[in-house]
Structure 1
Amino acid sequence: MTPFWIGIGFFLILILFFSSIFIVKQQTAYVIETFGKFTSVRNSGFQLKIPVVQRIAGRLSLKIQQLDVIVETKTLDDVFVKLKVSVQYVVIREKVYDAFYKLEYPHDQITSFVFDVVRAEVPKMKLDDVFVKKDDIAIAVKRELQEYMSEYGYDIIKTLVTDIDPDAQVKAAMNRINASEREKIAAQFEGDAARILIVEKAKAEAESKRLQGQGIADQRREIARGLEESVEVLNKVGINSQEASALIVVTQHYDTLQAIGEETNTNLILLPNSPQAGSDMLNNMVASFTASNQIGEAMKQQNTKKKGE
């Protein structure tokens, strides 16, 4: 055998050797077939196969994968809405054979089931309920997918309704409704604030009037007490009550005139100020007291007569 053929043989041996070894990455499964028939599943690490006789039929990732499905459907109140459903799934390590041979297009199968479940659940709900019960929709999708896909070597980790997108006109209407509700609430708060201010102002005015009235009453009470003391003083020097009252009135009259004269910024007040003013006031006071005494005596006699009868 010539060196040429030896070199060719050595080269072929190298090719066969390198074609018999392969490396499987972490979280990956290789399917090995022998003459077209399934032989084994190889996991991560250094692996060997028989050249020419065996081949790598396919690779499956054992990582968690996510598939986003957008479904357009109609709600119970006739609103078209788009839902984005995210399905997280993984190939079951013990069922790589089923996942590889039984199901050719897993994405298409999952998408079909998501469409079927969403279009069965959402038309039973009104638009507001779709937002509130989106977790119920996700649970229903997972339940159906889990039951079906487990036969084909897939485990459904989680399903999420990640987006709910109504028609543009519906969203604009919803925004107007929300704005109107907020304006209504703002108006109610403003009305309550205005009512509180009015009530508090009225309470303050009422309290002011009450204190003012109390002050006037105290003032009159002190004036009456002062007059009473003045009459008692005059009675001690031999002046009776009627004459004392007349004297006090005349004195206050002239004190008032003096105070008006001393006040330069006061408004003009017209009072009787003739020489006879004092005597007229005194006569009027005496006449008033006399008439009052007569009326009082008449009433006493009338009451005594009624009691005698």
Structure 2
Amino acid sequence: MLWFILIPVLVILLILLISCICIVPQATAYVVEWLGVYQATWPAGLKFKVPFLMRVAKKVSLKEQVVDFKPQPVITRDNVTMQIDTVVFFQVTDAKLFTYGVERPMAAIENLTATTLRNIIGDMELDHTLTSRDIINTKITAILDQATDKWGIKVNRVEVKNIIPPAEIQDAMEKQMKAERQRRESILRAEGEKRSAILVAEGEKESAILRADAVREQRIREAQGEAQAIMEVQTALADSIKLLNEAAPTDKVLAIKSLEALAKVADGKATKLIIPSDMQNLAGMVASIKEMVTDDSAKK
């Protein structure tokens, strides 16, 4: 009978004991209250709490968090209304301040971001706003970081994701961008045509130089060939004269050679023929040749 009473009591005690064990995950902090009053902030690890007297009021993530806020309407100094949406990167540094410092911290950060953004853009003109995104990011980050310190929040950076001007300004910007693209295309096309013309001219120049070099080389080779031929003819003539001199020719042989030379001159294309002035010697030379021929015939 006693066991039927002890078993339920032991089960209840075991449940209470288990409920007293608390494991805090990594990169998380637990804000603990004692009878509704802040008691401690538990870091990661194994913790024990007193049942019914202690409770975990809030579980706070210590990781860097990213919040993407919807576009906010802002007005520039030159009275142009545009939509700007931002992304805020923040991290909780004090879990107690984050829990008790402000109600609905995300809504507070969003409203503070919108207000700060309006103040910054209100001091800038449209053109400056569109080209100064880094300046806007730096200013809004510094202001938010300072304002959220009392909430236990560290704002690491704020990024302006989109800047959406009015529709008529967007149309004008698109037309301007289209005209700029066309201008750049025209410049690129003109530069390409210029480059192509330069390449063609350079090619023609190199081709002309190569042709001239080929003609010059051909003429040089022809001249060298003619010079070589003349040299060979002169060498052959000198060799023949040398051989003739070594053979000690008689006057009759020399006379025959003279007539052969005269015949070659007469058969040429020259319009003038030079006849030796000593015609008697020429007649005697002819008679000698005739005598030689007659002697040869008699011997045969």
TM-score after normalising by structure 1: 0.58
Distance 2:56 2:11 in 1: 23
2:3 aligned with 1:3, yes or no? yes
Distance 2:193 2:142 in 1: 56
Match of 1:90 in 2: 91
Match of 2:16 in 1: 16
Q: Is the 1:34–1:55 Cα contact (8 Å) retained in structure 2? A: yes
2:181 aligned with 1:182, yes or no? yes
Distance 1:179 1:2 in 2: 92
| Pairwise CA distance, 1:48 | 0.8
Match of 1:150 in 2: 149
After superposition, the Cα gap between the structure-2 partners of 1:193 and 1:99, relative to the gap in structure 1 and judged at 3 Å, is closer
After superposition, the Cα gap between the structure-2 partners of 1:141 and 1:6, relative to the gap in structure 1 and judged at 3 Å, is same
Distance 2:18 2:160 in 1: 48
After superposition, the Cα gap between the structure-2 partners of 1:15 and 1:131, relative to the gap in structure 1 and judged at 3 Å, is same
RMSD over aligned CA atoms reads 2.7
% identical equivalent positions: 26
Match of 1:297 in 2: none
Match of 1:74 in 2: 75
Match of 2:118 in 1: 119
After superposition, the Cα gap between the structure-2 partners of 1:6 and 1:133, relative to the gap in structure 1 and judged at 3 Å, is same
Match of 2:41 in 1: 41
For the pair shown, which has the larger CA radius of gyration, 1 or 2?
2
Q: Is the 1:99–1:152 Cα contact (8 Å) retained in structure 2? A: yes
| Pairwise CA distance, 1:186 | 4.8
The letter for the 2-side match of 1:81 is M
Unaligned runs of 5+ in 2: 202-300
Local SS of the residue matching 1:161: strand
**Post-superposition CA distance 1:171-211 (Å, at most 9, x none):** 222111121233345556777999998xxx9xxxxxxxxxx
Distance 1:175 1:59 in 2: 49
| Pairwise CA distance, 1:146 | 1.3
Local SS of the residue matching 2:148: helix
The letter for the 2-side match of 1:43 is P
Q: Is the 1:113–1:144 Cα contact (8 Å) retained in structure 2? A: no
Match of 1:100 in 2: 99
TM-score after normalising by structure 2: 0.59
The letter for the 2-side match of 1:150 is D
Unaligned runs of 5+ in 1: 202-309
